[in-house]
Structure 1
Amino acid sequence: MNPDRPALSGRVKAALVLFVLFALMPPLASALNDPFYILIGTRILAYAIAAMALDLILGYGAMVSFGHAAYLGFGAYAVAILQSYGVNDLILQILFAICISAVFAFVTGAISLRTRGVYFIMITLAFGQMAFFFFISLSAYGGDDGVALAHRSTVLGLDLLGTDYGLYYVTLAILIALFALCHRIVGSRFGRVLTGIRENPTRIEAIGFSPFRYQLTAFVISGCITAIAGVVLANQAQFVSPAFMSWHKSGELIVMVVLGGVGNLAGPIAGAVAALLLEEWLGALSKNWKLYFGIFLVLMVLFSPQGITGLLRKMGIVRGQE
């Protein structure tokens, strides 16, 4: 019996529960006659994609990227740039975002992966800030003020994203598809080697694998997936600005991963839900909501270092090691 099978099965079951709950949100919003839940729900789904992508390198590859929000910005600006040239198809915008992100991630990873620890973090932060200030300098797209989108993207000529409900369900479908992709990646030989590099890179290199190549490949894949989240966020907000790619956003993504559970693809999805809902609820209660959110995060780290999934495992709700 494969010892990894129970953990993988538990991860999929947890994700399926989350997907079912996501699917039930629009009917609930309709019953409550409150479209706000659809807007916040779409935002949660987009950040869940980005957090899951970050977990692919942070949780499985031990690469703490502090500039990962740059790829959110690339995805968002891909929509704005192509719309300015009359290209409104979502699929083309996603492909364009992936191409830009792949190149940037390859260059960033090729340089930063030659370092370790805090040096890796600082180099990824530096590249992220370079991208941030580059888009601030683009006056054609609003510079620091950003630019509003004239309309949402289309899908093969169909106006599937024209309503908030349509955008929500398309985003949910994208999240499910990308989760299946990431699940397949971490369960493959590539994923097992990546996890082995996290545990002992010297031993992995000794048995004939190149840690650099595997980590760089994972870094590029993660950046491309994050860019897809940026495309969704641009359509949800119908506005694009360099704020999408600030280092604060990178920090928020890391918080979502840690809050949900590192090294567990379903955990970051739960972390995105918890972080954004807490932001909304605490923000409605107090203007000092960040203080209370910080206290909550500290308590979570102290009493459940493995995040929400670790807490659920202690309670017997979730089984497995991931």
Structure 2
Amino acid sequence: MNASDILTPKGLIAAAVILLLAVMPVLTAIADQAFYLDIATRILILAIAAVSLNLILGYGGMVSFGHAAFIGIGAYAVGIPIYYDEYSGWLHFPLAIAVSALYALITGAISLRTKGVHFIMITMAFSQMVFFLFISLEEYGGDDGLLIWSDSEFVDGVDVDDPTTFYYLCFISLMGALFLVHRIVNSRFGRVIRGSMSNDKRMKALGYPTYGYKLTAYVISGAICGYAGALMGNFTNFISPEMMGWTRSGELIFMVVLGGSGSVMGPIYGVLSFLLLEEFLPDFMDLFSKDAGIYWHLPFGIILVLVVLFVRGGINGLLDRWNR
């Protein structure tokens, strides 16, 4: 993105969103509203997961309905070592990335031999297998979940238990994920992935082993999402198999599509819109009728369906048209 891109309505909005996220701890401290910092932290973590999904969905056309499994694996990579009194973040985060990448390699090697709805269903099937695996592990809480009684520990002076410190760890991680995905999709490797989404047979005819390229992208995506899961484990201090269910994967897909798949800022817009609607829509409905907020899922679903049907390219596509 060059200077001319930034000085457009779309570029200014993107810069404003990033700036707002950067100063959120200051704003919440001034307003004495720590609750909103928690919401913003959750937005950052899920945005990292959405960015990872966008790499394969938006640029590679791989609709994974089991991406939440990586979040769960990453979170358990924090919770299980802490259960055995291993508190080092230098163990937790590499373990989350490595196990998620290995899971992506094994499942991706099988899933990517299929296409379309078959790929969607097989990724969901693998995710449900992991879901039921952790339910069966009674040692780690099973269906009741696992309490994480301590945060990951890094170097002295870096207290992840401090909300502001942890927030900026998540913010820097999101910026790093955005930069990494941006560099990947604009590299020769990324051009092959995008070309494969448009016309896989043509790319193979040109001599590119697209299966290997797509598998590599799938593994990178899983590793990034596993990292987001490790952050989520530190944030919630509680993990359960429920966080890797197929409905959570569906929410991630909605976030990416809502914001605009195949765009740099789309995942952030999608997560921001999704979570803010989820958080404040019930209270807004209560203003018109008492207890109406308990039915917030209905207008929420309608809004999402209308955006998908009539706002081509999601929020990012809407900004593109405004730009022109």
TM interval, shorter chain, is over 0.9
SS in 2 for 1:287: helix
Q: Kindly indicate whether the alpha-carbon contact (under 8 Å) linking 1:136 and 1:143 is maintained by their aligned counterparts in 2.
A: yes
Are 2:227 and 1:228 aligned? yes
Other structure's SS at 2:294 match: coil
Contact map agreement 2:83 2:148 (CA 8 A) in 1: no
Pair 1:28-2:35 in alignment: no
Return the offset for 1:13: 7.0
Deviation at 1:187, TM superposition (A): 0.9
Q: Percent identity?
A: 49
Per the alignment, residue 312 of structure 1 pairs with 319
The unaligned stretches of length 5 or more in structure 2 are: 286-292
CA contact (8 A) 1:153 1:159 kept: no
User: How far apart are the structure 1 equivalents of 2:246 and 2:155?
Assistant: 34
Q: Give the secondary structure class of the aligned counterpart of 1:162.
A: coil
Q: Deviations over 1:54-111 (max 9, x none)?
A: 0000011100000000000011000001112332222321110111111111111111
* Alpha-carbon spacing, 1:6–1:207, altered in 2? closer, same or farther (3 Å): farther
Q: Which residue of 2 aligns with 1:180?
A: 179
Letter in 2 for 1:305: R
Residues 207-261 of structure 1 deviation map (CA, whole Å, 9 limit, x = unaligned): 1101100100000000110011111111111111111101011000000000000
TM-score computed with the length of structure 1 as normaliser: 0.93
Superposed CA RMSD: 2.0
- 1:291 corresponds, among 294, 298, 320, to 298
Q: For residue 191 of structure 2, what is the amino acid of its counterpart?
A: R
Question: 1:89 touches 1:157 (CA, 8 Å); kept in 2?
Answer: no
**Range 119-128 or range 287-296, more displaced:** 287-296
Tell me, in whole angstroms, the C-alpha distance in 2 between the residues paired with 1:60 and 1:14.
23
Q: Which runs of 5+ in 1 are unaligned?
A: none
Match of 1:163? 162
Q: Residues 44 and 272 of structure 1 are in contact (CA less than 8 Å); yes or no, is this contact kept in structure 2?
A: yes
Contact 1:53 1:223 in 2 (8 A): yes
Q: Residue 303 of structure 1: which of 301, 310, 320 is its match? A: 310
The reply to whether residue 63 of structure 1 matches residue 66 of structure 2 is no
Of 127-136 and 160-169, the range deviating more from structure 2: 160-169
* Equivalent pair of 2:260/2:314 in contact (CA under 8 Å): yes
Contact conserved, 1:190 with 1:214, CA < 8 A, in 2? yes
Match of 2:95 in 1: 96
Relative distance call for 1:208 and 1:48 in structure 2 (3 A) is same
Aligned to 1:140: 139
Which residue is equivalent to 2:39? 40
In structure 1, distance between residues paired with 2:5 and 2:244: 32
Note closer, same or farther for the CA distance 1:77–1:7 as it changes in structure 2 (3 Å cut): farther
